[in-house]
Amino acid sequence: MSTTPQSQTGAKAESVLEAQAPAFSSREAEAIAQRAFDIHATAHPLVSERDQNFHLLDKDGSEWVLKIANPAEKPALLGMQTQALLHIAQVDPSLGIPRVKLTPDGAPFHEVDGADGRRFIVRVLSFLPGQLLADATLLPVLVRDVGAITARLARALRGFFHPAARHELLWDLTQAPALRARTHHIEEQGRRRVVEEVLDHFEAEVLPRLKMQRAQIIHNDISCLNTLVEDNRVTGVIDFGDLIHAPLVCDLAVPIAELIREHPDPIAAAAEITAGYHAVTALEDEELRLIFDLVTTRCAMEVTVANWRVCEHPENTDYIMAGLPQAGAQLDRMREWGTERMYTALRRACAAPVTIRVSDFTGSSFDEDKLQSLIDRRRQRLGPNLELSYDKPLHIVRGEGVWLIDATGRSLLDAYNNVPSVGHCHPTVVQALARQAATLNTNTRYIYESVLEYADRLTATMPGDLSVCMFVCSGSEANDLAWRLAKAHTGNAGGIVMEDAYHGTTDAVFELSPAEYVDGRPLAEHIATVPAPDGYRGKFRRDDPLYSERYVACFDDAIASLDARGFAPAAYYLDLVLCSNGIMVPPPGYLAAAFEKVRSAGGVCVADEVQSGFGRTGDYFWGFEAHGVVPDIVTLGKPIGNGLSMAAVVTTPEIVASLTNESSFFSTTGGNPVSCTVGLAVLDVLEQEDLQACAARVGAILRSQIEKLAERHPLIGEVRGAGLFIGVELVRDHSTLEPATKETAAVVNRMCELGVLVGIEGPCSNVLKIRPPLVFDENHALQLTDALDRALGEI
Ligand code: PMP
């Protein structure tokens, strides 16, 4: 059975806005409903701009809408609407849209002759109850839901196509320039000029960019009169009369243009809608940039069409002009704001917490059994060594900015992950990654420029002779390669590391990582350790004016101990934030003196910047810079690719030459085109968003807030760190420094319940590890401090 009406005798070649609407009586409508659709109902007329609609109340209580189409409406378009409704009902049955009522012989429409000799297509759709969005109070949660529903509907239409989809439509933004033919109807000259300027700008600057955006069939009219609401949630969307194949983002311009019109904080409302949309379908950066112009153009369209229609239908002036003054005023206001202001607000909103429950649009909800079965499967398939964080492990499904969203839709403030340092799923990085992955990714034995550009940019941040990059895929590999370089360059085979150091997982690097040893496993023969310069609980403390020197002297012992075993140091490795030691900043002068001792014993100094690099410590881009030293080798990882597995060793030409003389080096995927493009994007974002300064500013605020908490919570022994790498040591007693290990675990788990993620660190597992993405701001800091305050208060 065809779902597209084939003919419509009597249809004139005129616009649906010009042709006279059908004029059936309620009695006639009832008769049609009964005869054609077997519905025995009473009919009441409903308002419609161009068709004739009746509300049908069946004897059995069911409610329908009988739609008699304007005869100028193209039959193919009515067919497209019907098929779209059928498609949506099939792919996302939970969406509130009208259902198509078929005739007893299975047809989705019926044709009737009118008294005026014209032929009309009649359809029946289910009636959706609910309040119109136009009459609802615009609470943020509702405004956000409008965005979410717009995205859900577009998502349901993604797989739908119809040959009539690209048609002439007054309300198609991509056809906006055609409105110039009607602007002369705008009587007020100033307003007309503004509208024409908007259309000129649109055609010259916006349309070319818009044409490059992803496109599909969209609803294109999610307006206040087409959206139904109940309990501050959108329950349905009606009127599929403006369906069109157009750039996806155009769909969003309609509700934004309408909802911000009377909203007391229009930009906040636009941001709210956009964030709701983005939570369902991530918007691309260019789409976010276009929204301002699309909304402005939509307003200009409304002004033009309304003025034109008033000229054509003076009898309907009141109805047509109802929203016009606001549309005109909004146009003026938006031109005052300018693109950048709205873009910034939208961009920020898209990185903010998502309050929409993921289960609302996936149909899944939190399920203890499912979680347990995933945990069991993980254990079985990945082995028992791979730990899970938190007593109640998290099932994370999305990340965004400083937020992680779990499978129940809960937003968790991420103050733990330093890998996504420019924010989870940063659009600039994601776009760079996607574009390059779609262009070229190959092994590294070819010439491509991104690797050179990236090496240039990276080494430009380094002092001295640190001018050669070697790219690998993980921090462990970088440290492993550094070990080979150090041995080749020095001819020595001994290593010096901190007690409780961690540098990675390869066999060689595992030996350099006593933090990973289980049950008193002894150090390898070629390794010596030095104590971390811990002035709080270490063997020399800050109250001793010579404590730093005493720690430096420990290098003599380490070198002597290696010597006694027949080794000289090839390298000394230091993680610049001493993370696995419990997070601390070495005292001034310590590092320079330690480097000197290692070098005089023939070793090189490796700055492991895997944790500390890329601006995290705030005052400097690299951790070692705070100590006025220049390492021989620097290893990079974690934040380098914002989550993409990439890492690097940066060193001097001489050291590289030493390895080259002895062996070759090749990493198949280390430094491939995708990695380097992503690395460049990360550097761009760090720069553009001034994230190092943010780490310094917010880090200082956060440390001082936590220090204030210490006045009320005696469990806090010491707050330390640099920038946004903070350690909070918890102790049971300030004089014995008895580690509050159990309490630390309890605080971390409670904070997780309160929606804030931090970790546990240190040899006694009594240090709170706080190292959020660098887009963490003052409000996030407050949220963290509040949760910490509560968790400590409950211990
Ligand atoms: N060095 C340091 C200081 C680290 O903290 C880590 C990882 N935690 C590594 C190296 C190893 O990095 P990856 O896990 O990427 O191999």
Task: Dump pLDDT digits (tens) for 35-68.
Answer: 999 999 999 999 877 789 999 999 888 999 999 9
Best residue for ligand 1 mutational test, from 386, 638, 769 (most atoms within 8 Å of Cβ):
638
CA of 476 to the centre of ligand 1 (A): 6
Residue with CA closest to ligand 1 atom 4: 503
Residue with CA closest to ligand 1 atom 10: 503
State yes or no: pLDDT of 357 exceeds 50.
no
pLDDT of residue 140: 80
* Tokens, residue 161: 């196509």
pLDDT of residue 12: 33
CA of 757 to the centre of ligand 1 (A): 20
State pTM to two decimals.
Answer: 0.63
Integer Cα distance of 15 and 5 in angstroms: 18
Q: Which of 627, 632, 633, 612 is nearest to 771 (CA)?
A: 612
Residue with CA closest to ligand 1 atom 2: 503
Q: What percent of the chain has pLDDT over 90?
A: 76
pLDDT band at 94 (very low <50, low <70, confident <90, very high): confident
CA of 257 to the centre of ligand 1 (A): 48
- Which ligand 1 atom is at minimum distance from the Cα of 505? 16
In contact, 53 and 24? CB cutoff 8 Å? no
Mean pLDDT of the region 770-774:
98
Residue with CA closest to ligand 1 atom 1: 503
Q: Which of 677, 123, 281 is nearest to 685 (CA)?
A: 677
CA of 503 to the centre of ligand 1 (A): 5
* Tokens, residue 330: 């909004």
- Which ligand 1 atom is at minimum distance from the Cα of 645? 15
pLDDT of residue 231: 80
CA of 641 to the centre of ligand 1 (A): 14
pLDDT band at 355 (very low <50, low <70, confident <90, very high): very low
Provide the strand spans (E) within 652-733.
Answer: 716-722, 725-730
Angle at 697 between CA 638 and CA 709, to 5 degrees: 95
CA of 606 to the centre of ligand 1 (A): 14
In contact, 778 and 771? CB cutoff 8 Å? no
In contact, 405 and 399? CB cutoff 8 Å? yes
Integer Cα distance of 720 and 537 in angstroms: 13
pLDDT band at 794 (very low <50, low <70, confident <90, very high): very high
In contact, 709 and 716? CB cutoff 8 Å? yes
In contact, 97 and 89? CB cutoff 8 Å? yes
Mean pLDDT of the chain: 91
At 618-670, the pLDDT tens digits run 999 999 999 999 999 999 999 999 999 999 999 999 999 999 988 999 999 99
- Specify the DSSP class assigned to residue 20: P
Backbone angles phi, psi at 121, to 5 degrees: -95, 130
State yes or no: pLDDT of 253 exceeds 50.
yes
Q: Which of 632, 636, 641, 605 is nearest to 621 (CA)?
A: 636
CB environment 368-387: b (16+ within 10 A), e (fewer): eeebeeeeeeeeeeeeeeee
* Amino acid letter for position 737: L
Integer Cα distance of 123 and 119 in angstroms: 13
pLDDT of residue 16: 61
Best residue for ligand 1 mutational test, from 610, 611, 616, 769 (most atoms within 8 Å of Cβ):
610
At 383-414, the pLDDT tens digits run 888 889 999 999 998 888 898 988 877 789 99
CA of 477 to the centre of ligand 1 (A): 9
DSSP H helices in 439-541: 449-460, 475-490, 507-511
Residue with CA closest to ligand 1 atom 5: 611
CA of 479 to the centre of ligand 1 (A): 9
Q: Which of 650, 643, 648, 651 is nearest to 681 (CA)?
A: 643
Angle at 747 between CA 745 and CA 752, to 5 degrees: 95
Report CA-CA distances (Å) from 382 to 207, 375, 385, 388, 671. 50, 10, 8, 11, 27
State yes or no: pLDDT of 352 exceeds 70.
no
Cβ count near 770 (within 10 Å): 29
pLDDT band at 158 (very low <50, low <70, confident <90, very high): very high
Integer Cα distance of 587 and 601 in angstroms: 22
* Tokens, residue 390: 């938190």
Residue with CA closest to ligand 1 atom 12: 475
Best residue for ligand 1 mutational test, from 416, 476, 609 (most atoms within 8 Å of Cβ):
476
In contact, 36 and 68? CB cutoff 8 Å? no
pLDDT of residue 114: 87
Report the pocket of ligand 1 as residue ranges, CB < 6 Å. Answer: 474-476, 479, 502-505, 575, 579, 608, 610-611, 637
Cβ count near 149 (within 10 Å): 27
CA of 64 to the centre of ligand 1 (A): 63
At 11-40, the pLDDT tens digits run 333 466 667 889 999 999 999 999 999 999
Best residue for ligand 1 mutational test, from 386, 502, 505 (most atoms within 8 Å of Cβ):
502
Backbone angles phi, psi at 2, to 5 degrees: -65, 140
CA of 304 to the centre of ligand 1 (A): 61
- Which ligand 1 atom is at minimum distance from the Cα of 575? 3
State yes or no: pLDDT of 321 exceeds 80.
no
Integer Cα distance of 4 and 186 in angstroms: 38
Integer Cα distance of 174 and 218 in angstroms: 13
Highest mean pLDDT among 189-193, 484-488, 659-663, 785-789: 484-488
CA of 611 to the centre of ligand 1 (A): 7
Backbone angles phi, psi at 80, to 5 degrees: -65, -45
Q: What is the dihedral sign for C-alpha 772, 776, 778, 783? A: negative
Burial class of residue 740 (count of CB atoms within 10 Å of its CB; 0-12, 13-18, 19+): buried
pLDDT band at 171 (very low <50, low <70, confident <90, very high): very high
Q: Which long-range contacts (CB under 8 A, 24 or more apart) does 133-138 make?
A: 133/223, 133/224, 133/225, 133/227, 133/228, 133/229, 133/234, 133/259, 134/224, 134/225, 136/229, 136/232, 138/259, 138/263, 138/269
